[in-house]
A and B are shown apart, each in its own frame.
Chain A
Amino acid sequence: MGTDAVVLGAGTAGMVAALRLAAAGASVLVLAEGEGGLPLAPAQIDVLGYRPQLILDPLGELGGFLESRPDHPYRLIEAEEVGASLEWFLELSAPLGYTGSPHLNRLQPTALGALRPTCLVPETMAAGDLSGGGSVLVVGLRGFRDFHAPLLAENLSLAHPPSGAEVRARSVEVSLLGDPRDLRPQLLARRLEERPVLAELGREIRSRLEQEELVGMPAVLGLERSHEAWQRLQELVGRPVFEIPTPPPSQPGQRLQQHLFRALRRLGGEVRLGVRATGYRRAGDRLMAVRVVTAAREVEIPADHFVLATGGIGTGGITAGADGELREEVFGARVSRGGAPDQPLVEYMATQPLDRLGVEVDQEQRPLGAGGEPLFQNLWAAGAALAGAEPWREKSGEGISLATGYRAARLAGGARA
């Protein structure tokens, strides 16, 4: 029994493509060398946040944005399809309570207290939209290194949402019962799934809470049972509680990853991690199989359709040599700087040479070879592998991954029919 589709890469783009293909009835195999970017990601779904001015309606402003950035991956997709992919994601991620509208950015606090535009968030972050102002009690956990409530609260107090509404914030610090060595995000998340620990935290917060305050805390409210932990804490304090993403490893990112992996398994798909793609076999203009190394041997995995979602230089999909050579690792697809400069700029907060790096594709998202022709008729690229975006500065990463992963599956499905 052969595989219909092989997806390389287990990040957002790869999982979206795999899920769409599987939902359409294809047998799907996802292969990834690492774990994908999701366990590191804040798990907020950015669509477009800055152009470089703040954007409030990401879908509505997509056209205007593309006028100044004609090489951007969003050029490949109609706004309707971007919207459709987001609506589909909202439905798919209902168990995590994702919420939001593709036409309205939310402004959520970061771990440093900046107010950051993003589009869809899980239920555990939903109350953190401060577009309309609000009073926040920022709760720090004593000894947790990756969250500093006083600095966050002081910065947040200076935030000015465009609505003109006021944001007020103050901080408290609470100590958790138990072993101080547990103060790493993954261990904290496990501890906060225990009812006595959560009850103690709830009591502590409640005793310091003032009326009308929202409660913001580091995103460590459980892993497998985050819904229960978050809901229970809200009951205990009697006010809305929201999570604020912390640096990697990210609990919300791991929750989303687990959810997507399970959803794929339910559809009969499979995710294999720890598998490195090293080469391929072609026949004419078709890709017949990828060669992978797993358990110290090389095997060939044939399929009808392939999706390249291995990401850019940050995840190893593309590598740079000391001699300056840029290489897409599996197929040797043509790599482009996406209009970024050749030489580094002195200012860190500027577009740097590697910022927009990715593979070049045709209008159908097919990676190009050296001659500018599609490498194969049945290979599509999606997500951070595509050249031209600056996902973190413009806050666009997940939107690109969702939309291009969604479209790659459609294009592959069309080719199949």
Chain B
Amino acid sequence: MNALDTDVLVIGGGSTGAGVAWDSALRGLHVTLVDRQDFATGTSGRFHGLLHSGGRYAVKDPGSARECAAENRILRQVAADCLEDTGGLFVSTPEDDLEYADRFLAAARAAGMEIEEVPVGVALRDEPRLNPKIRRAFRVQDGSIDSWKMISALLRGAQAHGAKVLPYHKVVKVIRQGDRVEGAVMEDQRTGEEVRVNAGCVVNAAGAWSGQVAQLAGCEVGVRPGKGVMVAINHRLARAVLNRCHLPSDGDIIVPVRTVSVIGTTDHPVADPDDTECSPEEVHQMIEAGELLVPGFKESRALRVWSGSRPLLPKTEGAAGAGDREVSRSHTVLDHGARDGLEGLVTIAGGKFTTLRLMAEDTVDVVVRKLGRGAECRTRTEVLPGSESHHFYWIGNRQQEAESDPPDDPLICECELVSQHDLDTVVARRPNWRLDDIRRALRVGMGPCQGGFCAFRVAGMLHQEGRYGRAEANSALREFVQERWKGVKVISWGAQARQTRLDRWIFEGVYDLEHLPE
């Protein structure tokens, strides 16, 4: 078995783990980060993309609101390339209590948010598709986050400072020596080989899965997975993030992210964080809810649905601040030494994408104390790779890049403007790419055709370049088609139903994928 020595072993390659890796690496610690799958495949790659202004927590969870407001400002300074500065609106629809709006405004100010009330006419001028019956509107500093870009930037930054990252490495054993955790054994999910990592400290950053990881170490973490369903609509229905001004509930937020608008979300407790099925009822609930913010929402083209599991933390786990939607959205660092008498293990539990930096800082502060070395936190000011120019991502960026591409660099994904050169650049970064990993890195297959045209191109090109064997290319394509189906099968209406038919024509009629050799 291969063995590695490291200061900090981070389990989980979502926003939390990537943040911890970046923070630790900047403090001069050697970090190794592992994930059972590709990075950002759990909750982080499955959220609505909201960069919180804090508004959604202002009334019910002031602690979280304050954290969001502060972290929002910091991320704008250090991670501009991963963010869109869309701004946000909280609007009182005819179904929302106007008195709540007053409480909201006061709470937002108390939380340190930048907020101003704008006349309804101004809000409607800025957002023509907004419900004309809204009665109040507040402008806040919401934005949107490209989760894949952000996590990729954090990991590249950490790697530049010596970190080692291992995707598709699943923890199969936590190594204990008496009352001390000394590392873990990982199984490479692609080769079956085992790797042992000896670590000064292990950070359990597995989010909704952190209970499962803690169990391997022999202790309990009471994290509760809460499933949220989201639907992507094939247009930017609004420039700004649209929120209903009321106590957060299902389907009350529309986030413009890149070429789509995402509506979210539901909240159902689930036993298994890997339960990501979306029922037609949940999807219809979202679509109906969208009508209140944007009349005619139902007629828009829905592209895809998905769900993610929030890592909800019951108050009994000592989360600070009041609960949001029953359990807190704030985070807690669990020092298992103090809590369970088990040294060498720290769990970062709860939290949300917007506060990933603070979560990492709080976690690594504990790690540094335990290791007895490591510098001060630098993530408040250290700019992430790609964000050096401090320009926010803008919806026209991709087109701009595509137009400056050399003319002999063919587009392989028209929906998301991905060129052959983009593909070559990404696949050169590491071996063993799955088509779905490439999708996260480049967005191929995420546009209106959902892979109908580009999946075959990518599989064929990677085979031609020798990166895939024949059987691998076939199964990659099958796997991808199956994975895409998961997100469109419940959209049985409108233009996307029609698109699904075209894709089926291509896969079954033109290629006869069903009768391809294994």
Residues of A bordering B, CB below 8 Å: 40, 42, 50, 110-116, 143, 145-148, 150-151, 154-155, 158-159, 179-181, 183, 245-248, 312-316, 319-324, 343-349, 352-355, 391-393, 395, 397
Contacts and interface: CB of A to CB of B under 8 A. Distances in A.
Contact of B494 (A116, A320, A397): A320
A400 to B, nearest CB: 13
A322 B410 contact: no
A247 B507 CA distance: 9
B473 A151 contact: yes
Nearest to B302: A322
Closest 4 CB pairs of A and B: A148-B460, A314-B501, A392-B509, A344-B489
Nearest to A349: B514
Given A322-B493, A348-B485, 15 more contacts: A40-B505, A112-B516, A114-B512, A143-B410, A248-B510, A313-B497, A313-B498, A319-B494, A321-B494, A322-B284, A323-B493, A348-B481, A348-B482, A392-B509, A393-B508
Given A155-B474, A180-B407, A322-B284, A313 B494 contact: no
B464 A148 contact: yes
A143 B510 contact: no
B470 interface: yes
B460 to A, nearest CB: 3
Contact of B482 (A183, A347, A392): A347
B270 interface: no
Nearest to B297: A322
A322 B513 contact: no
Interface of B: 280, 284, 287, 298-299, 302, 407-408, 410-412, 453, 456-457, 459-461, 463-464, 470, 473-474, 477, 481-482, 485-486, 489-490, 492-494, 497-498, 500-502, 504-506, 508-517
Contacts of B464: 148, 150-151
A71 B411 CA distance: 43
A150 B287 CA distance: 44
Nearest to A321: B493
A354 B460 CA distance: 29
Q: Which of B284, B459, B506 has the most chain A CB within a 10 Å cutoff?
A: B506
A218 B513 CA distance: 18
A155 B517 contact: yes
Contact of A313 (B490, B501, B508): B501
A397 B474 CA distance: 25
B410 A42 contact: no
A110 B494 contact: no
A145 B409 CA distance: 11
A111 B510 contact: yes
Contacts of A393: 508, 514
Contacts of A154: 463, 470
A193 B287 CA distance: 50
A212 to B, nearest CB: 23
Contacts of B412: 145
B510 A110 contact: yes
Nearest to B413: A145
Contacts of A314: 498, 501-502, 505
B235 to A, nearest CB: 15
B455 to A, nearest CB: 11
A148 B463 contact: yes
B516 A155 contact: yes
A416 to B, nearest CB: 34
A391 B509 contact: yes
Nearest to A46: B509
Contacts of A158: 517
Nearest to A147: B460
Nearest to B463: A151
Contacts of B477: 112
A110 B477 CA distance: 15
Contacts of B299: 322
Contact of A247 (B485, B504, B510): B510
A246 B453 CA distance: 11
A69 to B, nearest CB: 17
